[in-house]
A and B are shown apart, each in its own frame.
Chain A
């Protein structure tokens, strides 16, 4: 299988940075898709078609990674040879874990009491927390303090998961 040696940022002509200009990302993504998409190779032989398939998959994956702040963070760490998925309790402070536990309990209570407004308020709180942690990640990353950045990433994993659960709870209560 042929793989480009370009990293995800280079692939989309973007500087390696936490800040990603979405308009540029979208535009470059479309340009690349126009070149590699299997629909461009309908009449080609199987091998060429397989390659177009693999490249498009790669471009899609790269796009999705840069589009999501959470995945982008992990990818930035990976570019510095840090495995963000390798879990280490030391990266999460007890204070953070306790706070998470409280939020989860709050979520359970809100679900049990069908409290849609309460859910909305909790969502806002978690979103604020998320934004603050993303900012912390960026500043630690800029200062090349990768240990702290990884710790922020692990916190973000918790926060994104919690947001996801709040969404699901909301869907249930609002009967989607």
Chain B
């Protein structure tokens, strides 16, 4: 509880050493997804009976409500593309108006705003629900491996993902019933997999060219600390674009100008992909489509894709500049994503950076492997030195100001978690409402940025213009998710609102989705709440008791000590009642009463930490 547990993180998970926690790392990709587990610093991906480790990120919905995921779903897609949902990651946290490309399935605008709905034979599905299906199938693999339920998962997201996309990912996990230990940036996961932090200070580039997204991150690594200095990339550039250049080449060479059917386009995509893969080893390959046949040389292919690679190099230059790092400082480049198997990509990247290019770990699996290693550590299975991940916010957060302009409050590449406060005042006498519009993006015009949330501060005490002072705090957590709190300062009336971004699902939506699928009985819920409150109360008592034993005599007066001891006694008695609310209230008030003690321990703690003791000592 509170800071009381800060000095002994090991004690907050007392069972960590006794029972192995079951945690997995999940790479929820645009084209393919993977799940991996780790133990003692070694990780491996989980495969099915046919040794398929990649799970195509494809979900098929049948009219009878049957849901199929992965290879089987992709197979059904051949004949039933309208009910086969692929690349759903591109819809996560996006609005209907953001989708400017054709999809093999039908989507429609959500009348309540937010993400579009996908029309399937089994009804309308949100991208969050579809992603949850993929997650469930990955979790199942994990549960089969452990033979038991999972304690938690680390799920990776592109570093480039904005708040709305991260929130949607977390919502999908919640819907799938997964405890998210952390949303981890894909590049950070890749760096963890390579263990590049074990060397002296290094500045590395993570170059991730996947099926549908390109991400580049600049990281500084030093003995256990992973710090993202800057990220960039292109959310709509990947291996699919390389395939498309080949498709266009085929169409041009074969002189095909007619509109093609979906099955023809599917066939072309397969042919293009085969040609691309063949050219990774061969100097040329024969390409055939229907009655036409031709030869594509590697040189021709390289010329076709160079303009796409140029875009990635440009993004690399951008992150170097953002982080104020010279090209010569880069010591290693980590290659991630299937598209980095293309020799031309490796060649150009190595040429540009002039640094060692790592491809030792399968570029399709490296992210899941890193996520699993981190999941194992976060779940409490310690096997050595802890690593520390310091992430940054990929896009600036700000608010709308007069004239439709965006004012940045938290600039991009700021280390998270971060909190920034801003003060506003009223401009009319007696004004009781003020509206705020929270945005994310780099452009100056509000219309060019992503709208995250619009909300109104109500019940501002009536005062003359300029007298009310409203402090708005923007808090971004370690997962890159934001909450906004507001309170009026001058009167001391602190009204506080928490705002969930409009693209995230409301908690009640998620609860509804969960109850819809499980139809939980109300009495179950009450019993659960009583149980939860009891556990919470017990936890508070235990941590306060151990804190009192350690520091109570040094940091508290006799009176204060007696007061807290009495509070513990009271809570003990109330726990045995079956009154959920009373237990909750007594827990709250004991926690309140211990805040001063916690504050003093924090000060002592920080001073001790800084007095030259090593981190290891502090933890023990």
Q: Which residues 477-499 of B have a CB within 8 angstroms of A?
A: 477-478
Question: Does A129 have its Cβ within 8 Å of any Cβ on chain B?
Answer: no
- Sort chain A's interface into a size bin: 35 or more
Nearest 5 Cβ contacts at the A-B interface: A57-B419, A13-B610, A34-B615, A57-B417, A38-B478
Q: Which residues 317-373 of B have a CB within 8 angstroms of A?
A: 317-318, 321
User: B618 to A35, Cβ gap below 8 A?
Assistant: yes
Interface secondary structure of A, over-half rule: helix
- For A3, list chain B residues within 8 Å (CB): 599
Question: Does A48 have its Cβ within 8 Å of any Cβ on chain B?
Answer: yes
Q: How many residues of B contact A (CB 8 A)?
A: 47
Q: A13-B610, A53-B477 are in contact. Are A44 and B12 (CB under 8 A)?
A: yes
Q: A35-B618, A45-B536, A48-B1 are in contact. Are A53 and B602 (CB under 8 A)?
A: no
Partner of B606, one of A6, A40, A51, A175: A6
For B389-422 the 0/1 string (1 means CB < 8 A from A) is 1100000000000000000000000111111000
- For A58, list chain B residues within 8 Å (CB): 419
Shortest distance from the beta carbon of A36 to any chain B beta carbon, whole Å:
7
The stretch that binds B, out of A24-32, A75-83, A109-117, A151-159, is A24-32
Q: Which residues 141-176 of A have a CB within 8 angstroms of B?
A: 171, 175-176
- For A4, list chain B residues within 8 Å (CB): 599, 602-603, 606
Q: Which residues 1-15 of A have a CB within 8 angstroms of B?
A: 2-6, 11-13
Partner of A39, one of B418, B478, B591: B478
* Max chain A C-beta neighbours (<10 A), residue from B477, B591, B598: B477
- For B414, list chain A residues within 8 Å (CB): 60, 64
* Max chain B C-beta neighbours (<10 A), residue from A11, A13, A44, A54: A44
19 further interface pairs, Cβ-Cβ under 8 Å (given A38-B477, A54-B475): A2-B598, A2-B602, A4-B603, A6-B606, A32-B610, A34-B388, A37-B478, A38-B478, A39-B388, A40-B9, A43-B380, A44-B12, A45-B539, A45-B540, A52-B6, A54-B419, A56-B478, A57-B417, A63-B415
Question: Does B314 have its Cβ within 8 Å of any Cβ on chain A?
Answer: yes
* Max chain A C-beta neighbours (<10 A), residue from B5, B182, B386, B591: B5
- For A33, list chain B residues within 8 Å (CB): 225, 388, 390
Interface residues of A (CB under 8 A from B): 2-6, 11-13, 28, 30-45, 47-48, 51-58, 60-61, 63-64, 171, 175-176
Shortest distance from the beta carbon of B445 to any chain A beta carbon, whole Å:
16
Q: Which residues 416-435 of B have a CB within 8 angstroms of A?
A: 416-419
- For B9, list chain A residues within 8 Å (CB): 40-41
User: B595 to A48, Cβ gap below 8 A?
Assistant: no
Partner of B610, one of A28, A37, A171: A28
Interface residues of B (CB under 8 A from A): 1-3, 5-6, 9, 12-13, 152, 181-182, 225, 314, 317-318, 321, 378-380, 386, 388-390, 414-419, 475, 477-478, 536, 539-540, 591, 595, 598-599, 602-603, 605-606, 609-610, 615, 618
User: A51 to B2, Cβ gap below 8 A?
Assistant: yes
Shortest distance from the beta carbon of B231 to any chain A beta carbon, whole Å:
15
What is the bound-complex CA distance between A28 and B606, given in angstroms? 10
Partner of B389, one of A39, A51, A64: A39
B225's nearest neighbour on chain A, judged by CB, is: A30
What is the bound-complex CA distance between A10 and B314, given in angstroms? 42
Shortest distance from the beta carbon of A100 to any chain B beta carbon, whole Å:
22
Shortest distance from the beta carbon of B216 to any chain A beta carbon, whole Å:
13
